[in-house]
Structure 1
Amino acid sequence: MKMGIYKLQPLAEPTDSNWDRAPCHGEVIVRALSPADARIVASEAEPDFLETDALPGDGVSTRFASAFRDDKLYTVVGMKDSGFPEDGQRAVLSGRISNVLKTT
């Protein structure tokens, strides 16, 4: 399948209350199948409760709560001439995804 290179960039202002439920990781560039898949690739790079000794509040995963999956917090932009090859695995190519889980 043909991959694309996508940039996920914060859309909401830093003071937006929606950031209270998920951390902002700044801009992240990923190789993915589509813009929707780019959100999934980025969210899969975040830590999950299953990877820590914490207990989830809902179900057994916290991936659904990722800021990358929220179109009010992040926008996805297709990139032409990104400098990254389109061939390869679905992956985060650039950016720093914090390894800290948001706590209340």
Structure 2
Amino acid sequence: MLDPTRDETGTEPGLLHAFRLTPAATPEDPNWDLAPNHGTVEVNALSAADARIVAAEAEVDFLDTDALPGDGTTTRHASAFRSDKLYSVQRIGPARGERGMITVDNR
């Protein structure tokens, strides 16, 4: 499945794949102090790097709530999904829909 959107350069979209992000660190790992563990998630994305971005974009950001920090400060860069020490990414097959989150299993 092709991503229906064009990127900022106006080039054609790429081929989407399904990816699974799974916690790579043990629950006792001190890196979890930096960001919460959201369990296993599946996303449709262009690449493994894009899968991390898609998962991070699905998290609640402080800018989306009435909580601090404010004044244009985002917390998206602090997502556990962006850390290869906390999450591993595996391509699991063809995309099943549009670019974005498929499932979350935080048991």
SS of structure 1 residue aligned to 2:66: coil
1:16 aligns to 2:29 (yes or no):
yes
Structure 1's unaligned 5+ residue stretches are 98-104
* Conservation of the 8 A alpha-carbon contact between 1:10 and 1:26: yes
Q: Retained in 2: the 8 A contact 1:10–1:27?
A: yes
- Of Structure 1 and Structure 2, the greater strand share is in 2
Equivalent residues, number: 93
Q: Is the 8 A contact 1:49 1:61 kept in 2?
A: yes
Query: What corresponds to 2:11 in structure 1?
Result: none
**Considering only aligned residues, what root-mean-square deviation do their CA atoms show, in Å?**
1.9
Choose which of 71, 74, 82 in structure 1 pairs with 2:84. 71
1:62 and 2:71 equivalent? no
Asked if residue 31 in structure 1 is aligned to residue 44 in structure 2, the reply is yes
Is 1:88 matched up with 2:97?
yes
- Please tell me whether the aligned partners of residues 6 and 79 of structure 1 are also in contact (alpha carbons under 8 angstroms): yes
> SS of the residue aligned with 1:50?
helix
The residue type equivalent to 1:19 in the other structure is W
The CA deviation string for residues 13-66 of structure 1, in whole angstroms up to 9 with x for no partner, is 000011011110111000000000000000001000101112228x61000000
What amino acid maps onto 2:100 in structure 1? Answer: A
Match of 1:47 in 2: 60
Please, what TM-score do these two structures have when normalized by structure 2? 0.79
Identity, % of aligned pairs?
57
- Name segments (4+ residues, structure 1) moved above 2 Å: none
Q: Aligned letter for 2:60?
A: P
| 8 Å CA contact retained: 2:16, 2:45 | yes
Indicate conservation of the 8 Å contact 2:43/2:100, yes or no. Answer: yes
SS state of the match for residue 18, structure 1? helix
